[in-house]
Structure 1
Amino acid sequence: MARHTRSMDWGFPRWREYGSEREAARVRLCDRDGCEKPGDRPAPKSPNNPDRWYFCEEHAAEYNRNWDYFAGLTAEEAAQREANERRTANGYAHSATNSWAGPGDGSRSRDEMKALEVLELEVDASFEAVRGAWRRLAKEYHPDVRPNDSAAARQFQAIQAAYDVLKTAEDRRQWKPQ
């Protein structure tokens, strides 16, 4: 008479460690013809389609390098699709300035807030106030005004960098798509 042995998977607690099952693990192979590596990186077959290819890391990188989101569309259709997606993604672009609830009203990024501190301005300062503070501080710390002063030169560079950050942000706000 054959003796019946009990499986190690019975009861609680489980007697065998997780991941040590005896059954063969199912592995999906890369969808690239001739590749024998596991295909564990999904890639879309086409835009707005739930079907996916499954590639290995090497072939997924190759697929992403050659991906063209607007493949098969005319120039007008591509422009229309881009406009539609930009219109619906404005909320995501606007939320990029809210970096974990720093000071201010949420309309300025963390870098802009640091730049305002360098220019000795309040968080709600207008760009005209930024330009005025930049001119005042640049005149005070300019290397031509304070030659051979390395601290003044570093401060001048910080002032210039702060102004560049705020100028770029102001330009981005003026050209923001409506």
Structure 2
Amino acid sequence: MCDRHNCGEAGNCPAPKSPNSPDRWYFCEKHAAEYNQGWDYFAGLDKEEAAARAAEEQRDSSGYRESAFHGWTGSGDGSRSRDEMRALDVLECDAHVEFDEIKKAYRRLAKANHPDTNQNDKDAALRFQAIQAAYAVLRTAEERKTWKGV
């Protein structure tokens, strides 16, 4: 139950009773919002320190924003990321190719560049690694599409 006096709602929003204390109040959503209404993340900091902290927070979390699947779109039909487009280039495939064709291209190129068939050829070994990495990117993207039902 909510720790606010005379409230009968479920108390599922924990809030600290005091700074650095493990004790918590448990409020309903309405009273949690009221409790946090006057809270200032930048309290006690001067303008420069507040700006520096805000910039640091944005810098640290910017990778999450940039890694959003649909934020990576590049050329092609707009449904593939830049990484997927690079992987298609490595596998010598068109931007609109189906995954079955990607598998065929992967098998063909992997067989041609495999280190066992090209012994003592360091370039072939590097191409083989690039082909494997490209296929892994495209396979993961295909699994994600299949899983999401896209």
Give the TM-score normalised by structure 1.
0.48
Higher RCO, 1 or 2 (CA under 8 Å, sep at least 6)?
2
Whole-angstrom distance in 1 between the partners of 2:118 and 2:16: 65
Greater helix proportion: 2
Aligned AA (2:69): A
For 2:31 and 2:87, how far apart are their aligned partners in 1? 44
Structure 1 vs Structure 2 CA RMSD:
3.1
Q: Is the 8 A contact 1:98 1:107 kept in 2?
A: no
CA–CA separation in structure 1 for the residues paired with 2:78 and 2:94: 14
1:97 to 2:70 alignment: yes
Residues 149 and 56 (structure 1 numbering): CA distance in 2 closer, same or farther, change over 3 Å? same
Question: Structure 1 residues 102, 32: CA separation in 2 closer, same or farther (over 3 Å shift)?
Answer: same
The alpha-carbon deviation at position 146 of structure 1 amounts to: 0.4
Contact 1:98 1:108 in 2 (8 A): no
Q: Which runs of 5+ in 1 are unaligned?
A: 1-30, 37-44, 58-94
2:104 is aligned to 132
Deviation of the 1:56 alpha carbon: 6.0
Structure 2 unaligned regions, length at least 5: 1-14, 21-26, 43-67
2:93 and 2:130 mapped to 1: Cα distance?
14
Question: 1:111 is matched with which residue: 83, 94, 98?
Answer: 83
| Structure with the greater alpha carbon radius of gyration | 1
